[in-house]
């Protein structure tokens, strides 16, 4: 029996603003609840590990989840593309909720030691490898392309809210009922996201695979016609046209996006084009697609350089700088608060403003200006100057990061969106953290000022890369 998904046609030429779209707001509520749950989970995990083991064992438990996350991230992108991001996110949240709840019950009834915490960390990291690419691929399916920059801003605000609220909620759970109560609270928050995600409707994208038999795509006049069977983009010719949007060129043409909304999400089973194809072949094909793309390839390089130059100074380096200058914990706290305020302001700007013109150039100049602010941090004469520099770093990094994320989604062929997101996530979560021990070691040898300057130069190279590649420099977000 063939299941037919319901389709709700959008009005021709009208794109509802994301912050007024109930479908987007349901997705945002689900994402926020899940992110707050993540913050509560990590606090509960660290507290339980400290109480059950030595400092070295605690560090091992806290880092063991990073191994499967990094190793399996690209494979997670393949799964997101094969099964659809909505289904993968719902399944991932359900598994994460069940795992955290099981540990909460175990801790409340026995004293099992560290082993269940280590197992939970591995499970969480493994599921994250699938969850993160799918989460990154979802925005393009819940709103129109012209709203993706606004959605990135709204998503940034959700992340800021989760980081502010999650810590106190986790601490409250620990105070009231120990680690078991905090784990239970985390499971509850993650569980809240599942019914919200079930209620979110997916849009049919141009060039999308015919995952749902019987889906009809609305035409410009509001009528319904049969959705065209998409063609897989050749790994040789990366300038192939998908629908009326040119992929592989900085210009995204006049494609009508989101003219059909799939009410029940992704269908059951894999698309016909995947039958007989191996996951490894899909993974290699995705990497070739990014490598041959005139916008995505240099954009990935720019993101990598920006993250490598940014993560070290703003994590390990800032603590060492505050200690070296005698600013104390309060000075470091104010500086971090300045960064958070700047990043929040950038997210709010995009959420309210929506599309920014000349996205490629704006991202490049924001990265360059932000790198100057990073270099200045190590030369700030006092805490007020450091806080001001941190506000600029947060503002410019938040702006460039949101624009790069929106460009990734609008420039990617929908057939590859999960794998493109996975590669970007691997760069940010797998490669960039490697700069933290390197930054700490370098500061121990040469001091903070030279290391911050070198990190700023590496970060600035990301902006230079964008300016050097014409297609990326001229890239625009859809109207």
Where would I find the beta strands (DSSP E) of 250-350?
A: 260-262
Half-sphere exposure of 40 (CA within 13 A, CB side): 34
Q: Quick one: which of 310, 334, 322 has its CA closest to 452?
A: 310
The whole model's pTM is what?
0.77
**Predicted confidence (pLDDT) per residue in 425-444, tens digit:** 887 776 666 677 788 888 88
| CA-to-CA dists, residue 148 to 7, 17, 108, 267, 387, angstroms | 21, 10, 43, 24, 30
| CA-to-CA dists, residue 184 to 45, 97, 102, angstroms | 12, 9, 9
Residue that is written with structure tokens 């702006």 in the block? 399
What are the pLDDT tens digits along the chain (479 aa)? 444 333 334 444 556 788 889 999 999 999 999 999 999 999 999 888 888 887 778 878 877 888 888 889 999 999 999 998 999 999 999 999 999 999 999 998 888 788 889 999 999 999 999 999 999 889 888 988 888 888 988 998 999 899 889 888 999 999 999 999 999 999 999 999 999 999 998 887 665 544 443 333 333 333 333 333 333 333 333 333 333 333 333 333 333 333 334 444 444 444 444 555 688 899 999 999 999 999 999 999 999 998 888 887 777 788 888 888 888 888 888 998 899 899 999 999 888 887 889 999 999 999 999 999 999 998 999 999 999 999 999 999 999 999 998 899 889 988 899 999 999 988 777 666 667 778 888 888 888 889 999 999 999 999 999 999 999 999 998 87
The Cα–Cα gap between 14 and 392 comes to: 36
Residue that is written with structure tokens 């099964």 in the block? 83
**Predicted confidence (pLDDT) per residue in 54-112, tens digit:** 777 887 887 788 888 888 999 999 999 999 899 999 999 999 999 999 999 999 888 87
The answer to whether 291 touches 433, Cβ cutoff 8 Å, is no
Where would I find the beta strands (DSSP E) of 174-333?
A: 202-204, 216-218, 224-226, 241-242, 245-246, 260-262
Q: Quick one: which of 143, 145, 210 has its CA closest to 407?
A: 145
């Amino acid at each position: 029996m063939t299941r037919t998904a319901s389709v709700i046609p959008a009005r021709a030429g009208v794109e509802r603003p994301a912050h007024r779209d109930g479908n987007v707001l349901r997705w945002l509520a689900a994402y926020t609840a899940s992110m707050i749950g993540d913050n509560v989970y990590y606090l509960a995990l660290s507290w339980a590990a400290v109480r059950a083991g030595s400092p070295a064992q605690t560090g091992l438990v806290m880092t063991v989840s990073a191994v499967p996350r990094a190793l399996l991230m690209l494979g997670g992108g393949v799964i997101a593309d094969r099964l659809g991001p909505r289904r993968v996110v719902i399944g991932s949240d359900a598994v994460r909720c069940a795992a955290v709840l099981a540990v909460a019950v175990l801790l409340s009834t026995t004293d099992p030691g560290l082993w269940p915490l280590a197992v939970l960390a591995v499970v969480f990291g493994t599921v994250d490898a699938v969850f993160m690419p799918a989460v990154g691929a979802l925005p393009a399916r819940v709103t129109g392309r012209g709203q993706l920059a606004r959605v990135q801003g709204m998503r940034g605000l959700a992340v800021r809210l989760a980081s502010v609220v999650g810590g106190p909620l986790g601490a409250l759970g620990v105070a009231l009922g120990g680690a078991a109560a905090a784990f239970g609270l985390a499971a509850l928050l993650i569980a809240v996201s599942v019914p919200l995600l079930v209620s979110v409707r997916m849009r049919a994208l141009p060039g999308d695979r015919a995952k749902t038999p019987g889906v009809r795509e609305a035409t410009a006049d509001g009528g319904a016609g049969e959705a065209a069977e998409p063609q897989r983009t050749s790994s040789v010719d990366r300038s192939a046209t998908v629908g009326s949007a040119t992929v592989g060129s900085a210009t995204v043409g006049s494609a009508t996006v989101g003219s059909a909304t799939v009410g029940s999400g992704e269908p059951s089973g894999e698309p016909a084009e995947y039958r007989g194809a191996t996951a490894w072949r899909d993974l290699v094909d995705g990497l070739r697609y990014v490598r041959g793309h005139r916008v995505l390839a240099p954009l990935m390089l720019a993101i990598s350089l920006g993250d490598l130059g940014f993560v070290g100074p703003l994590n390990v380096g800032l603590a060492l700088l505050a200690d070296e200058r005698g600013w104390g914990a309060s000075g470091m706290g104010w500086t971090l608060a300045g960064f958070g305020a700047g990043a929040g302001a950038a997210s709010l700007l995009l959420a309210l403003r929506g599309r920014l013109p000349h996205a490629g150039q704006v991202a490049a100049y924001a990265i360059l200006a932000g790198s100057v602010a990073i270099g200045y941090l190590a030369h700030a004469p006092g805490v007020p100057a450091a806080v001001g520099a941190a506000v600029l770093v947060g503002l410019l990094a938040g702006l460039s990061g949101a624009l790069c994320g929106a460009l990734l989604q609008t420039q990617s062929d929908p057939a590859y969106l999960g794998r493109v997101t996975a590669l970007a996530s691997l760069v940010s979560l797998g490669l960039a953290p490697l700069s933290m021990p390197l930054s700490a070691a370098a500061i121990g040898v040469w001091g903070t000022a030279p290391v911050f300057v070198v990190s700023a130069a590496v970060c600035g190279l990301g902006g230079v890369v964008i300016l050097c590649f014409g297609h990326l420099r001229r890239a625009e977000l859809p109207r």
